[in-house]
Amino acid sequence: MEISTIFVQIASYRDSQLIQTIFNLIKHSDQPDRLRIVVCWQHAPDEMLGEFWKKGFTKWRFETIDGWTVHIMEYNGARIDLIDVPHFKSQGACWARNLIQQHYRGEHYTLQIDAHHRFVDGWDTLLIEMLESLRDESPKPVLTAYLPGYDPDLPTPQSSEPHSIQFNRFNSEGVLMVIGSVLPNWKTIDRPVRARFYCAAFAFADGRFAATVRHDPEYFFYGEEISIAARAFTHGYDLYHPHRVITWHDYTRKHNPRIWSDHTNEAKKNGDVSKTWWDRDSHSFQRNRELFGMAEPVLTNGEFGKYGFGTERTLADYEAYAGICFRFRGVQRTTLDNAPPVPGATRPDSNAEWMASLVRSNEISVCLHEHAFQNDEQRQDSRAILLSAAQGHLVVYDSNETALHSQDLEADVLTKLKESSWLEFRAVFLSDIERIPACYTVELFNDAGDLLARIKQAIET
């Protein structure tokens, strides 16, 4: 009987949990010899290959593939391919995932994870059984979910509750953001349930998924999950949440360096990197807006090639299914309430009816330096105003000066303003779909309630 092989994808950036994750993955597999684990090993000079040999990896050899050294080794019957990437050569998480996917060699299934996971016994058998159980309603299912967490300092993970993915907001850059929550009624469910969204830290599908819906290497970090969700759907894939826990994820990553602490202005000045992380981030945000028709095509001329949408279903079909509207940053109440998605849902023929079903999701980024609070009329400098400020208030308006949102500023926000000279926070709120935020005001008051300063700022869209 032919063994069902699994192409395991792990993008690892200077991750101290990588070896333990590979050990745990193999240890808890029913058939380690079915695994081909490909790692984009983004490492600093002091993070050396010898650590793998010390831990018992054997049969080492190397090949040069497309200009990259690939270290090939084994552990307990599983094959591990390490794509050797000096950390300053990295171009971000999506670039790393794309590089891994270029090494797909026709395995029956694929599992994408991060480098900081723990697994249940027999995870490989469980995932295959779950995926195959869905063939009666989907020819191309994908299992994906946000995961319960674990602490590497504890002997075992603490939670056995499977999680779902639900809508959170459109952020200020236009990226649809999601969050995890416990899957409702999971104890009474006997099979995976339909999902709207995708998690890049855990996805299991037929192996061809790694070739058909590859990560866009020009994305940096944010935006990857919603772009894969929509693109997968248009390629005919259906998203599902597992009804049982398969793996846990370390959300703290204590003491692990991040790319944004390495790819800095200083590193660019020294010639270590060609672009800072925020250069790549800004480019990625614009590319994401263009993909979803939220901005005029500047980078792409509207052409995304193999990183665009499929032809089996349309983006409008995905919007109807997920209950969202990218162009207007809209969301339906059923999606906000995390109600089960309806397969085959379509948008109303009437655009007015479709728009009426949506509310607009807004995130406003407030970033003001203390000098903005200078009060020339009362001849008070900004530092005196900040030291006297005991209360604050934000109001967001549309282009007609209609108030859309207001909130008091929390004490910790004002404390940070006094300490750092910057007022920085984000306001998240809903509004009528046609009400687009155009400007905001920030007011500061003293203990007696007297107005110290009032700032009005336009909102860039």
CA contacts within 13 A on the Cβ side of 124: 24
Measured distance CA(70)–CA(63) in Å, rounded: 5
Measured distance CA(119)–CA(245) in Å, rounded: 9
pLDDT at 415 (0 to 100):
86
CA contacts within 13 A on the Cβ side of 325: 21
Residue 95: both structure tokens together? 């670039």
Measured distance CA(90)–CA(96) in Å, rounded: 7
Spatial CA neighbour of 213 closest among 368, 80, 83, 101: 101
**pLDDT (tens digit, 0 to 9) for every residue of the chain, 461 residues total?**
578 999 999 999 999 999 999 999 999 999 999 999 999 999 999 999 989 989 899 999 999 999 999 999 999 999 999 999 999 999 999 999 999 999 999 999 999 999 999 999 999 999 999 999 999 999 999 999 999 999 988 888 878 999 999 999 999 999 999 999 999 999 999 999 999 999 999 999 999 999 999 999 999 999 999 999 999 999 999 999 999 999 999 998 877 899 999 999 999 999 999 999 999 999 999 999 999 999 888 887 778 999 999 999 999 999 999 999 999 999 999 999 999 999 999 999 899 999 999 999 999 999 888 888 876 555 566 777 888 888 999 999 999 999 999 999 888 888 887 788 888 889 999 999 999 999 999 999 988 999 988 999 999 76
Spatial CA neighbour of 431 closest among 422, 440, 423: 440
- Domains of the chain (ranges, CATH numbers): 1-356 (3.90.550.10), 364-458 (2.60.40)
Spatial CA neighbour of 180 closest among 159, 205, 153, 151: 159
Q: What is the pTM of this model?
A: 0.93
pLDDT at 407 (0 to 100):
94
Residue 299 · residue 286 · CB < 8 Å: yes
Residue 177 · residue 210 · CB < 8 Å: no
pLDDT at 112 (0 to 100):
98
Residue 282 CB contacts under 8 Å (≥ 6 apart), including other chains: none
CA contacts within 13 A on the Cβ side of 446: 8
pLDDT at 379 (0 to 100):
52
Length of the chain: 461
Spatial CA neighbour of 210 closest among 53, 67, 8: 8
